[in-house]
Amino acid sequence: MKDGFVKVAAASPVIRVADAEYNAERVIECIRTADKKGVKVLTFSELTLTGCTCFDLVTHRILLDGAEKALVKVIEATKGIDMLVFVGLPFAVGSRIFSCAAVICSGELIGLVPRENVAGTLFSSPNGEECEVIVAGEYSAFLSADALFESNVMQNLSVAVELGADSSSLIPPAYRHAEAGATILVRMASFPETVTSTKDAELDVRHTSSHLCCGMILAAPGKGESSTDNVFSGLCLVAENGKILAEAEEENALAISEIDVEYLTNLRRARGGFDTAEYPHCISPWGSELADTVLTRPYARSPHLPEKAEDVPSYCERLLDIQVSGLIKRMNYANLDHCVVGISGGVDSTLAVMVCAKAVKKMGLPSTNVVACTMPCFGTSSRTKSNAVIVAEQMGADVRVIDITDSVNQHFDDIGHARDDYSIAFENAQARMRTMVLMDIANKVNGLDVGTEDLSEYIDGWCTFNGDHTSMYDVNLGLTKTQVRANVRYIAQTTDDKILADALWDVLDCPVTPELLPIHDDQIEQKSEDAVGSYSLQDFFTHKILVCGFTPAKTMRLAKIAYEGEFTDEELVRWLTSYSKRLFSQQFKRSCLMDGPAVDSFTVSPRTGFLMPSDGECALFLKNLENL
């Protein structure tokens, strides 16, 4: 339960209808199995101890008494087990019968939560009331629909439950529970199996957990239920913020995963509107131990991209549409009819020139209205120069080769900088010269200097201030390096132009380089990732630290899972430390960025994106890494 993770499970054992004693044994077996796996929250389906298909038998004293005795057996079996367990049973209060979730932890009955939507059933509605009840003459507990079960040991872990048709109410109890602070919603279901039941349940759970920024655990009745009019599948689901983490649908189904409560809390803080309601009734604490949670859920190396390969094409089309649409709107607004873009043969400028080509085509302008400028100097290799020209030519652009060597040398002479002094001024002078050339050509042809820098490079500051850092409109501003590469790869895979495809694959194969230092034997020697680390790793850090709001230490833990075998712990700490330092020291470049379209919910735009002071200290971030 450290780092905000809690291991949860949904269970659907094969039971016998109306045989509460037998069913209690099956429930206890599941509890013991879950305990061995480190589960801290476990739920069963509605009316677990009797079955949800008892029909009129549910009102019989024999069944009601048997369910209570079975519940006592389950309660006693949980002694010494630090787990919040939700078990369903019918429970009578006077002349009324409720379908209840019995909430148990470590040998104690914490409370009974009744179903609210009882239309078409023999059950009574609680009507918002609370009362104290005695179960089997042994256990005293409250009975209330307004109940939160808050962890004693884990911050922001608050669990609530809804039963059966409650989830299909006009305003489901889940919404009330989430507003009151529940971060995990337990759904004790009772629906039968149909040809669409699984897809329907998945869709509903995904939507609800995303809308409420919560974790969800769903257990539906299993195959031991009556087959009189329906059959039951035993569907079990665990979800978090719109994503299914674990699923099982079989005899004795058990779905286990870890829900990240810290992540959900961070999402809620950003959105607002949660923890605003106060329950008039019950908030019950539970739990006694803050233990390590063994993580079994996977973490993708590219969290900015779709997890499923089949979703990538439509995703990339969407990215391209956003980039092209933004560029067209800006050109139309400014009455411009040319795009000017600096091409280096790198993946960023390659994507930018193709976006420009798509934009002018959509505007009904000739392809030559894209002015693609390659500006070789001291560090330019023939490989990158060749790829840049091939891509631009295949797009039909007006390709211009402008050697800036003499201009830069003259500039060195003007400022008194030795030509063999390869310090920062040597590198930055080239980048700033290129930007001046591009902007002046744009002014000359009634065009827009289109920037090529991406989100990843703005975050680590791997750009020259007022050099490649600056443009008139940056179509890559909202894309991470992994998104840029995905777009270029998608175009390479789908184009019918073999020459273009070959050039694009070679662009993708080239190391990322600023090409600002002299080269030898035409080999690329200055590699960006040698200085700032793998961009795949950097984008992973960005997602976990800035998007999810995790600490560097927690990010390290997840990176070890995602990059198992690729980086050592020492390398991960090194690059996390570098990332944390650059995140703060390079903010001044992000504080004055030009316009550019966001493609995701996260951006570093100084107007609408992630904001921080340009002179903030990274001390707390580095301290968090000290013990790794």
Task: List, for residues 320-375, the tens digit of each pLDDT value.
Answer: 999 999 999 999 999 999 999 999 888 999 999 999 999 999 999 999 999 999 99
123 CB-near residues (< 8 Å, 6+ apart): 58, 90, 97, 98, 99, 114, 115
Query: Is the Cβ–Cβ distance between 2 and 38 less than 8 Å?
Result: no
Task: List, for residues 131-151, the tens digit of each pLDDT value.
Answer: 888 887 888 889 999 999 999
pLDDT of amino acid 139: 86
pLDDT of amino acid 520: 56
Cross-strand bridge partners of residue 26: none
Using DSSP's 3-state secondary structure scheme, residue 572 falls into: helix
Q: How far apart are CA 614 and CA 113, in angstroms?
A: 51
Provide the CATH number for the domain formed by 309-625 in this structure. 3.40.50.620
Residue range 8-33: average pLDDT? 98
Using the predicted structure, report yes or no on whether residue 513 has a pLDDT greater than 80. Answer: no
Q: How far apart are CA 398 and CA 389, in angstroms?
A: 10
Residue range 531-557: average pLDDT? 94
Secondary-structure breakdown of the chain: helix, strand, coil percentages, each rounded to the nearest 5: 40, 20, 40
- Fold (topology level) of 2-286: Nitrilase/N-carbamoyl-D-aminoacid amidohydrolase (3.60.110)
- Per DSSP (E only), the strands in 521-584 are none
Task: List, for residues 516-538, the tens digit of each pLDDT value.
Answer: 555 555 554 555 677 788 999 99
pLDDT of amino acid 625: 92
Q: What is the DSSP string of 454-487?
A: -HHHHHHT-S-TTTTT--SEETTTT--HHHHHHH
Residue extents of the structural domains in the chain: 2-286, 309-625
The count of C-alpha atoms lying within 13 angstroms of the C-alpha of 297, restricted to the half-sphere facing its C-beta, is 23
pLDDT of amino acid 521: 56
pLDDT of amino acid 291: 78
Task: List, for residues 94-139, the tens digit of each pLDDT value.
Answer: 999 999 999 999 999 999 999 999 998 999 999 877 788 888 788 8
Give the burial class of 486: count Cβ atoms within 10 A of its Cβ; 0-12 exposed, 13-18 middle, 19 or more buried: buried
Q: Which of 543, 217, 256, 507 is nearest to 391 (CA)?
A: 507
Query: Is the Cβ–Cβ distance between 11 and 235 less than 8 Å?
Result: no
Residue range 23-49: average pLDDT? 97
Q: Which of 203, 232, 206 is nearest to 219 (CA)?
A: 232
pLDDT of amino acid 287: 80
For 492, phi and psi rounded to 5 degrees? -60, -35
**Where does the pLDDT of residue 56 fall: very low under 50, low under 70, confident under 90, or very high at 90 and above?**
very high
Give the alpha-carbon dihedral of 328, 478, 434, 350, to 10 degrees. -80
pLDDT of amino acid 453: 95
Considering 299-303, 342-346, 378-382, the range whose residues carry the highest mean pLDDT is 299-303
**Where does the pLDDT of residue 177 fall: very low under 50, low under 70, confident under 90, or very high at 90 and above?**
very high
pLDDT of amino acid 530: 74
- Give the percent of the chain with pLDDT over 70: 96
Query: What is the pTM (predicted TM-score) of this model?
Result: 0.90
Average pLDDT of the residues of the chain:
93
**Where does the pLDDT of residue 280 fall: very low under 50, low under 70, confident under 90, or very high at 90 and above?**
low
Using DSSP's 3-state secondary structure scheme, residue 346 falls into: coil
Q: Is the dihedral of CA 129, 131, 135, 137 positive or negative?
A: negative
Q: What is the DSSP string of 576-595?
A: HHHHHHHHHHTHHHHTT---
Using the predicted structure, report yes or no on whether residue 74 has a pLDDT greater than 90. Answer: yes
Residue range 476-505: average pLDDT? 96
pLDDT of amino acid 310: 95
Residue range 446-460: average pLDDT? 96
Task: Identify the residue whose tokens are 């295949």.
Answer: 394
